[in-house]
Chains A and B, each alone.
Chain A
């Protein structure tokens, strides 16, 4: 039973690894429309001279807001743990 499971895991892992190595790399992709659109139209669409900033805060704005939410949640979590821990110890 154990040997069969090990063999199944090995087959799945090997096939996934083979799939990763057989897919074309990023450099050889023919479809680069999104990236070239950001590079060509980013300045006039957003008015930001920093292309990274324009992608981070404009084209992918909701993603960055999620990152800020992660940091906010971390601060709230540390606050909760410390305050309730101090209260319980006293």
Chain B
């Protein structure tokens, strides 16, 4: 791609990923959650993929890593849900409301689900780009 697009993407990519992680971690305080945060992280990778090509994006995150992370995040998500359903009072943080460490299981579920969403979208992008 163009040199202008490459420079802009190179400067913007860490901030896009940081914004996505912020949305994941503050899903129970501000608008957002697991789906928007994961899609924002995946969009950063997609920008990298479109401007630099598949090999540079593969250097940032390997396809196999995305695959394994997605599978383990899905497993963790389901286990947190089952755990919370049956043993409700264990994962309850004793923080104050309106602070980061406040919601019972929503923080864990947001982060795990966001990782899973981002890795799923990254994997789909990788596979379709390779095809």
Contacts and interface: CB of A to CB of B under 8 A. Distances in A.
Given A49-B97, A49-B102, A82-B131, A72 B74 contact: yes
Interface in B87-131: 95, 97-98, 102-106, 109-110, 113, 116-117, 119-121, 123-124, 127-128, 130-131
Interface stretch (A8-16, A17-25, A31-39, A61-69): A61-69
Contacts of A53: 27-28, 33, 103, 106, 110
B36 to A, nearest CB: 11
B97 A75 contact: no
Interface of A: 43, 46-50, 52-54, 56-58, 61-62, 64-65, 67-68, 71-72, 74-75, 78-79, 82, 85-86
